[in-house]
Amino acid sequence: MNQRITKNYQFNYDLKQLRAFLEVAKVKSFSKAAENLFISQPAISRKISQLEEALNCQLFIRENNTVELTPSGEELRNKLPKIFENLAGITESLNSLTKYNKLKIGYTCAAMSSFLPSLIRKTTDKLTGYELIFSEDNTTGLINKVLENNIHCAFIMAQPKHENLITINIRSESMGLMIPDNHPFNSLNEIPIELLKQETIILFPRPQNPSLYDHILEHFHNKNFMPKAIREADSCNAIFGFVAAETGVAFIAESMAGLCMKGTSYKPISQPGPEIKFSFISNRFFLEDWHVTFERLISENYCDDSCFYLNQMDKSFIIQNNL
């Protein structure tokens, strides 16, 4: 009996592959589906190929730049929504059995160095029924975790517009430059961005936050130049270390100026310069009362009228669910 149960629940495919299939089936485009899921087109093509191999059938017909479902694909598309709904119901029913609901909150290092500690202090006494669990990641990683319901919400360095996300914009923050403490720029009160033409810029890899990466490069393009070189580093500590090692200069949030390590210093950039556009994101299909608490705190304390963004569809969704 146990062997039969084990065999019945062994699958050669996973939920990420099924989610990729649903997105391609919806938009009828591999490139658009990849963009919506914040992954590369080769990655989503690989997931679909693996799923087709696991199910031993063809799910899509690809020809002449068009994508259409096969009969097998139509059948799978019709069955999957109910399966995902049942899986979500299991999570909700199990969470209801715990004395304290676990609220998993993601954040980026820049958010934690800026407004987030103050917001956490204001939140603690308003969410007494929750155990707050925090985890750090880059912006793209946090977006994917929210979409996959691995965490409930996140404070990120982008303002994505995705149909499965509710995005609340938080006021932007200027970026400055971390430089070696013996760099000639230390004699300046602020640094015109044109002076970076002969510099090596240390940046996070573009997949970690494509919008911010492109926003920074756009300021170079607007001045008709590119820096001498761009060196990529995976973490804040690595970026700080490379600057201290005199291998380049790095853009950092203004609020991180006090985090400059030994051998580095911070200088403002002449405006207009790059800025970080923070936001609070959550999955619209997994909202509870905690969302209203965060929405109110953010609107009252961490944004102005021009930055607060909650579109009408999001407002209607929250009202309909009594949040």
Tell me the pLDDT tens digit for each residue of 16-25: 999 999 999 9
Q: Which of 290, 275, 297 is nearest to 110 (CA)?
A: 275
Note the pLDDT of residue 308. 45
The CATH code of domain 99-304 reads 3.40.190.290
15-96 matches 99-304 in fold:
no
Phi first, then psi: what are they for 108, rounded to 5°?
-100, 160
Looking at the predicted structure, is the pLDDT value of residue 305 above 70? no
Which residue is it, tokens 């517009």?
161
Q: How far apart are CA 101 and CA 252, in angstroms?
A: 35
pLDDT tens digits for range 142-187: 999 999 999 999 999 999 999 999 999 998 999 999 999 999 999 9
User: For residue 173, what are the β-bridge partners?
Assistant: 276
Mean pLDDT computed over 207-228? 95
Note the pLDDT of residue 93. 74
Tell whether the torsion through CA atoms of 42, 203, 108 and 314 is positive or negative. negative
Q: Which of 174, 177, 165 is nearest to 279 (CA)?
A: 165
Note the pLDDT of residue 260. 85
Q: Which residue has the higher pLDDT, 128 or 210?
A: 210
Arithmetic mean of pLDDT over the chain: 88
Looking at the predicted structure, is the pLDDT value of residue 307 above 60? no
pLDDT tens digits for range 39-77: 999 999 999 999 999 999 999 998 888 899 999 999 999
Give the H or E element holding residue 291: helix 290-301
Q: How confident is the model at residue 115 (pLDDT cuts 50, 70, 90)?
A: very high
Q: How confident is the model at residue 95 (pLDDT cuts 50, 70, 90)?
A: low
15-96 to CATH, choices 1.20.120.530, 1.10.760.10, 2.40.50.140, 1.10.10.10: 1.10.10.10
The domains of the chain are located at 15-96, 99-304
233: CB partners within 8 A, 6+ apart: 202, 203, 204, 239, 241, 242
Q: How far apart are CA 174 and CA 189, in angstroms?
A: 16
Q: How many residues does the chain have?
A: 323
- Omega before residue 268 within 30° of 0, cis: no
